[in-house]
Amino acid sequence: MTRLEVYSTVMNQGIVPLAYVADVDKAKKVIDAVYAGGMRSFEFTNRGIGAHKVFDVVAEHCRANYPDLALGIGSVVDAPTAALYIQLGADFIVSPMLVEELAPLCNRRKIAWMPGCFTPSEIGRAESLGAEIVKIFPGNAVAKGFISSLLAPSPRTNVMVTGGVSPDADNLKRWFDEGAVAVGMGSGLLRKDLLANSDFKGMEALASKCIELVNEARG
């Protein structure tokens, strides 16, 4: 998937599910579940030893079954790690902070890059490096009104909020009312109990519900 298609997918759907799943078979079933629930993106987080081995199998599974799914890698904090995942087929790279060395790599490879930022200066710097969507992280530490105040002088900035995002109407309405183009949702969607019990039907139903809630929040 091209980076323009990735950005379009994220902004059109407005929600990106994210999780790290160590077990290969379970990881594939998680992808199956959120896809069946209507999600068209997934951020696999780089948080475990050998995570790239799991991602390699998951990426192959997606290429074979879900060519319209944007599969990305998150929690990337250095260029060599990003290069590894790009080689394995990552459609986009997400980092928890602004890591400038990721910009030339992703730009050269035409890969969508969403850096984590927390201040207007960081966001401005990320945009000058080519970031089309910036991740506000951690969202649960963001004061109410921050995003709308940020966008007042910078209306073309595209913000995705991650951290503190939950599958309820009031929470989602807050972010989209302030002007976010998308949210990243981890444990609120891919809950520990659902993962522990391999409740993939429950994940599918919750994914579908989240899409409904996002559409309602966006009006």
Q: Is residue 162 one of the residues assigned to a domain?
A: yes
Q: What pLDDT score does 204 carry?
A: 98
Phi, psi of 68 (to 5 degrees): -95, 10
Q: Give me the CATH number covering residue 124.
A: 3.20.20.70
Bridge partners, residue 71, by sequence: 42
pLDDT at 40: 98
Helix (H, G, I), strand (E, B) or coil at 110: coil
* Polymer length of the chain: 219
pLDDT per residue as tens, the chain (219 positions)? 999 999 999 999 999 999 999 999 999 999 999 999 999 999 999 999 999 999 999 999 999 999 999 999 999 999 999 999 999 999 999 999 999 999 999 999 999 999 999 999 999 999 999 999 999 999 999 999 999 999 999 999 999 999 999 999 999 999 999 999 999 999 999 999 999 999 999 999 999 999 999 999 998
Whole-angstrom distance, CA of residue 125 vs CA of residue 37: 36
For residue 141 the two structure tokens come to 């530490």
Nearest in space to 79 (alpha carbons), one of 54, 59, 104? 104
Identify the pLDDT of residue 69: 98
Q: Does residue 10 form part of some domain?
A: yes
Domain assignment present for residue 134? The answer is yes
What is residue 168's DSSP assignment?
S
219 assigned to some structural domain: no
Residue 206 lies in a domain: yes
Cβ neighbour number for residue 101 with a 10 Å cutoff:
13
The whole domain housing 124 covers 3-214
| 3 state SS of 162 | strand
| Distance, CA of 11 to chain centre | 11
What number of other Cβ atoms are within 10 A of residue 186's Cβ?
A: 18
pLDDT of residue 184: 98
The pTM of this model reads 0.96
Number of domains forming the structure of the chain: 1
Residues ≥6 apart with Cβ < 8 Å to 11: 133, 158, 181, 182
